[in-house]
Amino acid sequence: MIRLENLTKIYGEGHSAMKVVDDVSLDLPQGEICVLLGPSGCGKTTTMKMINRLIQPTSGKVFIDGKDTSTVDPIELRRTIGYVIQQIGLFPNKTIEDNICVVPDLLGWDRPKSRARAKELLDLVGLQPDLFLKRYPRELSGGQQQRVGVLRALAADPPVMLMDEPFGAIDPINREVIQEEFLKIQKKIRKTIIFVSHDLDEAVKMADKIAIFRSGKLEQFASPNELLARPANGFIESFLGSDRALKRLRLVSVQAAMQPEFVTVSMAEPVEQALARMRSRGAAAAFVVNAEGRAEAVLTVEAIEGHSGSIADFAQPATVSVPITGDLRQAVSLMFAHAMPVLPCVDGGGKLCGVMTYRAIVQNLVGGKT
Ligand SMILES: Nc1ncnc2c1ncn2[C@@H]1O[C@H](COP(=O)(O)OP(=O)(O)OP(=O)(O)O)[C@@H](O)[C@H]1O
Ligand SMILES: [Mg+2]
């Protein structure tokens, strides 16, 4: 959908010539979010502005939907690409409604259609249209303005969006909320998005692909999981930080990492018999499951080894569980908080679907599967 081919920008000439974007090639499929990440001055904004031709490339090409953008009138091109600039850039003398409708107005949409669109978009991000349509930007908080900035870029329903640190001005708590809101919207609208960020956590959360830049060069282009599992070089490794394995926990779902098979036991069963069954299945734990399929109690090999009696004497009530829709960060957090080496994994109805163990988590991280 978006393809950069040997894209290069050089400022200055002769001795003072500086390559600020150096031979960058990448290919982003339709509907994906690509986060451009890297230290200040590495060429992220310049790369982004060459896509909508606010900056003219020195050499190389940009293709959108197979079309060489250098053959399109730049003004026309920009009307088909949503653009969120870092400083929000709402027009102070226009109402929120008119701000959102800037591009639809330029495109000549009729007024009822564009105004209905503004209303629909405000609803989408939880800003009540009756309250906000007629206000001016100065009457909104910074975070609200930033949301309107994103809506304005979405207003004409462009297939491509460029977003330069769109959530940069928002405090960390609200930023998480807005990121999640945006991902929900993206699930419905499936735009192809280039997104600039300074923030690794934001990149890992938002990106289908991350492009890491250094001094104008694209150093690695990979999914967040691949990047965290296999940084291509020492620069990227140090950029990602020594806790990159922890960052990966969030990318793996409980459902993908859990062991879907589990051993069941009954309360009256002798422990020797249960232990033999657990050993033969290589299971670290077993569950007492009721008629509805819920885990009532959990039993570890450790707790019964060398003992005799019935399961009822050793089983612990299964009070803690992790939803299969959760991620490994959640699972690890529960394991630590409750000192549980195994966790029942449950579906929305509370039914036992699998087991999470410390070993499964480690295997997942080392094996690098998702
Ligand atoms: N008009 C210009 N003339 C000369 N050099 C420029 C010009 N515009 C940008 N640069 C240089 O190009 C490099 C890349 O700038 P760019 O704005 O793309 O960085 P960035 O990665 O977006 O950084 P930041 O994270 O700080 O926003 C910088 O070193 C900058 O000084
Ligand atoms: Mg920048």
CATH at residue 222: 3.40.50.300
Q: What is the distance between the alpha carbons of residues 116 and 112, in angstroms, rounded to a whole number?
A: 6
Task: Find out whether the beta carbon of 42 lies less than 6 Å from any atom of ligand 1.
Answer: yes
- Measured from the Cβ of residue 296, the count of other Cβ atoms closer than 10 Å reads 15
Same domain membership, residue 181 and residue 141: yes
- Phi first, then psi, for residue 333 (nearest 5°) are -60, -45
Looking at ligand 1, which residue's alpha carbon is closest to its atom 22? 45
- Ligand showing the shortest atom-to-Cα distance for residue 9: 1
Q: How large is the average pLDDT for residues 323-328? A: 94
pTM of the model: 0.80
Q: How large is the average pLDDT for residues 162-189? A: 83
pLDDT at position 185, please? 84
Domain boundary among 249, 276, 301: 249
CATH number (domain holding residue 337): 3.10.580.10
Same domain membership, residue 262 and residue 243: no
Residue 216 CA, ligand 1 centroid: distance in Å: 9
Domain that holds residue 337: 254-367
Same domain membership, residue 205 and residue 322: no
- Tell me: the pLDDT tens digits for 54-100? 999 999 999 999 999 999 999 989 888 988 876 667 888 999 999 99
Same domain membership, residue 216 and residue 298: no
- Tell me: the pLDDT tens digits for 228-280? 989 999 999 999 998 888 888 988 899 999 999 999 999 999 999 999 999 99
Closest CA to 96 of 157, 52, 141: 141
pLDDT at position 48, please? 95
Same domain membership, residue 237 and residue 298: no
Same domain membership, residue 261 and residue 244: no
Looking at ligand 1, which residue's alpha carbon is closest to its atom 20? 41
250: left (phi over 0), alpha (psi -120 to 50) or beta: alpha
Q: Which residues contact 253 (CB under 8 A, 6 or more apart)?
A: 324, 325, 326, 327, 328, 370
Q: How large is the average pLDDT for residues 284-308? A: 92
Q: What is the distance between the alpha carbons of residues 302 and 108, in angstroms, rounded to a whole number?
A: 72
How confident is the prediction for the chain on average, in pLDDT? 90
pLDDT at position 88, please? 67
Taking the CA atoms of residue 288, residue 290, residue 295 and residue 300 in that order, the dihedral angle to the nearest 10 degrees is 0
Q: How large is the average pLDDT for residues 284-293? A: 93
- Ligand showing the shortest atom-to-Cα distance for residue 44: 1
Task: Find out whether the beta carbon of 192 lies less than 6 Å from any atom of ligand 1.
Answer: no
Same domain membership, residue 240 and residue 276: no
Same domain membership, residue 339 and residue 284: yes
Task: Find out whether the beta carbon of 104 lies less than 6 Å from any atom of ligand 1.
Answer: no
Of 87 and 208, more confident: 208
Count the domains in the chain: 2
